[in-house]
Structures are given as structure tokens and as C-alpha cells.
Structure 1
Amino acid sequence: MTNRLLYYQVPKYEQSFTFPKKYDYCVAVFVINEGEKLHKQLQRMQKSNLCVDIVIADGGSTDGSTNTQTLKSLGVNTLLVKKEDGKLGSQMRIAFSWAMENGYKGVIAIDGNNKDSVENINDFVEKLELGYDHIQGSRFIPGGKAINTPTSRILGLKLLHVPMMRLASGFKYTDTTNGFRAYSKELLVANDMAVFRNVFTSYEFHYYLAIEAAKQGYMCLEIPVTRTYPKGKVPTKISPIKGNLGVIKILFETCMGKHSL
């Protein structure tokens, strides 16, 4: 792959286990210390007759949730463990690189916190087969559902995130904070996207992919999905003040073209 791409910078990682490839597409599940939420999600995925290989991209869990025997028993094809600094963007580059090197035609991305409608994974595959390159899951189009979503999240999305992403991309996205998405091989290996760069370590990677895919003329689409928050206190790894300010800063920088070629 390094001979074909202008940029090929992938964080160090360990392939803890893998089984032979069964399908043309894989779903990359991004986790770090998700506990039983991950196991419940994988149980749901087992029952959904999915036509994808399941790949866990672990950011360095220490809670035992990524025990290899447990994951194997839950139908996981491959476990990749990040071995250097970086957050979600680094995990994504690891999973995308591994998928391309192993001959997959596309990757579905999903969090491992049991909030998303895993039953929709095959819908993403269908759209990839039709030639779409960037497929965004949305709770806010017909057929989509936002269950127990905190009001603060809705306001931030509607008043700030969506308008900025629409302006930057020229595409009428409706759910730009939703990490349930899919990407074609053609998009991931394209030099005009240059996705394998060390600048992508956090949430800027999601934003960049959505913006640049539309700007560069790749086939983009939204499809309906459901995201369900548990009742009560919102579980999140983003601190309320410093973390949220950091996310807003990343959003502004990415929308202003900081990471564009």
C-alpha cells in the first residue's frame, strides 16, 4: 500500500488474533473500557445475521472487556490493539489500514458502547455495493430515531455542528456527530483524501472524512439509524467543560480546512 499512497502513516498496533476473511466488508468497532456494553452489543450483532466480519479496534482497554476468548465466543473475527498515543482517529486509521491490507471493499464504523442500531449494518453494506463512498447514519431523517438523547447534545448538534459541517462540505448532513458510518475502499485509498496521516488522532478524522468526501465529489448519502442513550446520567468519555471546548475547537479547525491538502 505504501507504493500507491502519498501518505501512509499508521499508529503501531498489535493484531491479537484474527480468523480468515469471510465477507467483502467488515465492521470496525471502536472501544476503550466499554465493559458489558461491548459484550451486549456483540450479542446483538450475533443475532442480526450480518454479512460482515467483525473487527475490534481497541484503544487500550484495561477492564477485561477485550479478553480474547470472550471476543472469539461472541463472533469477533479480529482484535487490533493500539500501541501508541492517540485517540479515536488513531484507532480508525489502524482499522482502515488493516481492512485495506486484507482486501475488504469497504468498512462500516461503529462505537462499541451498545447505543447504535447494529441491525442497520447490512443497510450500509447494501449502499456500499451500490457504489456510495461515504454513508452517514442519521437519527433525523425518516426512519431514524433518537431515543433519550440529552437536550444539550441535540442543541449542540442542531445549532452548531450541523450548520458548520454543511457550510464546510456543501452537503446537507443532518447528523454530523453520529459515528455510525461507512466508507468505500475507493475513498480510503484515494490520494485526494489522504486519510492515512498522523494529523488524524481524534474526532477531527470523522469531521474531515465527511467534509472532504463531499467536497471531492465522492458519492455521499445518509441512511436512517437509531441511537439509544440510557436513561439517567449520560455516559461519556468527554469531560463537560475542557472536553467539550476541545471538541468545538477541533470542529472549527477542521471546518476551516486545517487538515485539507
Structure 2
Amino acid sequence: MTQNLLGRTVMVVPTYNEASNLAWIVARLRKAQPDVHVLVVDDGSPDGTGKIADELAESDDHVHVLHRTEKAGLGAAYVHGFKVALEQGYDVIGEMDADGSHQPEQLQRLIDALAAGADLVIGSRWVPGGSIVNWPKSREALSRGGNLYVRLLLGIRVKDATAGFRLFRRSTLETIDLDTVRSTGYVFQTDMAYRTLSHGMSVVEVPIDFIERQRGDSKMSKDVATESLKLITRWGLAERRDRLRRRFSGSRHA
């Protein structure tokens, strides 16, 4: 398969109270991509998710587990998982949710785009061919509006900067410098896409079908979305100030 040409691949899967979903989604991923490893990062789930992850790892040498003692945010879990994956020598490092919203059967689309030369591939809901299933109109409007706001404020062309189904080249994460990443919530996804583009690397979006979870509770809320938009606004305004300063400085020395 294509991933053999790219090298060793691992999907980082953060979990918090996903006991009803984890074994199911890992089984689907392992069937769809037998060569791909899975790294579960559990933030001390009280529902037994960590124990399920350990059992999966005991029976499958392609499944690995990191246990964290507290729920410190999605971004923190991903950064921890990414760092461990880099230390373990993986060439391609991906991310996906444990709740079934990201379809493992569509991972090959991301792999093919990375093999074609992208530095970061995003499985996108908002490019032609992408779709959402079982979302209320209010949730769709929030996501579409939030991504439009991101594009306008940060000046990027990514249609789905908030999406969490992704593949990074090892070199991309090394260039970004994970030690400087401080975003912890859902804004982490936008942060990583923006950092990739800011370093002159390429971001490619491929269409996916995003299916709303059927089991367990969503971690997304209006409060989480609002906080993410506040942080993005802060970044965007800071970036525009820096651009004006550089332009003003350049004109003074012209």
C-alpha cells in the first residue's frame, strides 16, 4: 500500500470517556489499514476507556497506549502523542477522533494526498465531495461560519481549518516545533494548520464524510467554540499588527 512508500505510520487517537467507541473504531482502523499503528492517548477517563485501550494493546502489537493523569485539553493530548510518535521514529503521524465521526475507511484518501507531496493533509467537510451526516443546521452554521472567520482573519485558504482528521509528515511536525505549541482546546487544529502554512509548507484538503457520533457524549459545546474564536481573533489581530509594523519599518528605510 501507499503508506509503505511513506514509511511507518501511526494514528494518534485522544480519548476521554470513549469506552463505548474505542474498541469499535480501532478495529475498523486496523481492518482498513493493517500496516498503520494506533496510539491511544487517554486523559484518565473515569469510565474505563484506559483499561480497554490496554487490553487492545495486549492483543495487538500495532496498538499502543499513553496514560495521562488528568484531562488537560485536546491539544495537549495531541502534542504529547505527537512527541512520543516522533521519539518512536514514525515517518507519518496522523490524528483522528475515537467517536466514529472520522471514517477509517477513508484514511487512504489522506495517505494518497500525502504521498503526492503535501506536508499536511486535512480530511475536510467543506470542500467539494465532503459531507456531514446527522448534524443540526445550527451546528453546521457554527462550523461553516467559524471556518469562514478563520480564513478572513488569518488570511489562509483552508476551508476546514478546525477539522481533526489529519496526516502530518514527520518533517512538518519537526519544523513546527511542538515545544512552542500552547493551544490546548479545539483551536489546536487551526493553530497547527496556520503554523504549517506560516513555515511555507503545503496543506492539502481531501473530502471526507463526517458522521456525528451515535454513542457517548460530544466534547464540543458553544462555550468551547466561543473560546476558540476568541483565541483565533487574538492571533489574527496580532498577525495584522506585525504586518503593519513590518510594512511601516520597511517604508521608513526605503
TM-score, with structure 1 as normaliser: 0.79
* 1:71-106: CA deviation from partner (whole Å, max 9, x where unpaired): 444675210122356211111111110111111112
2:161 corresponds to:
176
Counterpart contact for 2:99–2:213, Cα < 8 Å: no
Counterpart contact for 2:41–2:67, Cα < 8 Å: yes
Structure 1 counterpart SS, 2:161: coil
Structure 1 counterpart SS, 2:28: helix
1:3 corresponds to:
none
- Number of matched pairs: 232
- How far did 1:227 drift? 1.0
**Does residue 232 of structure 2 align to residue 248 of structure 1?**
no
Q: Write out aligned runs for 1:159-198 (5 A).
A: 159=145, 161-190=146-175, 193-197=176-180
1:228 to 206, 211, 219: 211
Structure 1 residues 230 and 111: alpha-carbon distance in aligned structure 2, compared to 1, 3 A threshold: closer
Counterpart contact for 2:95–2:166, Cα < 8 Å: yes
1:8 corresponds to:
none
1:59 corresponds to:
43
Q: Write out aligned runs for 1:28-177 (5 A).
A: 28-67=12-51, 68-73=54-59, 76-83=62-69, 86-159=72-145, 161-177=146-162
Answer with 165-174 or 88-97: which moved more.
165-174
Q: Greater share of helix residues, 1 or 2?
A: 2
- In the alignment, structure 2 segments of 5+ residues that lack a partner are 1-6, 243-254
- How far did 1:196 drift? 2.0
TM-score, with structure 2 as normaliser: 0.81
User: Which residue identity does 1:97 align to in structure 2?
Assistant: K
User: Which residue identity does 1:60 align to in structure 2?
Assistant: G
1:214 to 197, 211, 216: 197
* 1:124-175: CA deviation from partner (whole Å, max 9, x where unpaired): 223223331111111222332211122122111222x222222344432222
- How far did 1:210 drift? 1.0
Structure 2 counterpart SS, 1:89: helix
Structure 1 counterpart SS, 2:205: strand
> Which of the pair has more CA radius of gyration?
2
Structure 1 residues 170 and 234: alpha-carbon distance in aligned structure 2, compared to 1, 3 A threshold: farther
Structure 1 residues 60 and 90: alpha-carbon distance in aligned structure 2, compared to 1, 3 A threshold: same
Q: Hey, what's the Cα distance between the residues in 2 that align with 1:239 and 1:126?
A: 33
Structure 1 residues 127 and 118: alpha-carbon distance in aligned structure 2, compared to 1, 3 A threshold: same
Q: Hey, what's the Cα distance between the residues in 2 that align with 1:65 and 1:84?
A: 13
Answer with 245-254 or 210-219: which moved more.
245-254
Q: Hey, what's the Cα distance between the residues in 1 that align with 2:68 and 2:127?
A: 35
Q: Percent identity?
A: 24
Q: Hey, what's the Cα distance between the residues in 2 that align with 1:50 and 1:89?
A: 27
The alignment's C-alpha RMSD in Å is: 2.6
1:24 corresponds to:
8
Counterpart contact for 2:125–2:160, Cα < 8 Å: yes
Structure 1 residues 212 and 256: alpha-carbon distance in aligned structure 2, compared to 1, 3 A threshold: farther
Structure 2 counterpart SS, 1:111: coil
Structure 1 counterpart SS, 2:172: helix
Counterpart contact for 1:168–1:211, Cα < 8 Å: no
Counterpart contact for 1:41–1:112, Cα < 8 Å: yes
Q: Hey, what's the Cα distance between the residues in 2 that align with 1:244 and 1:162?
A: 11
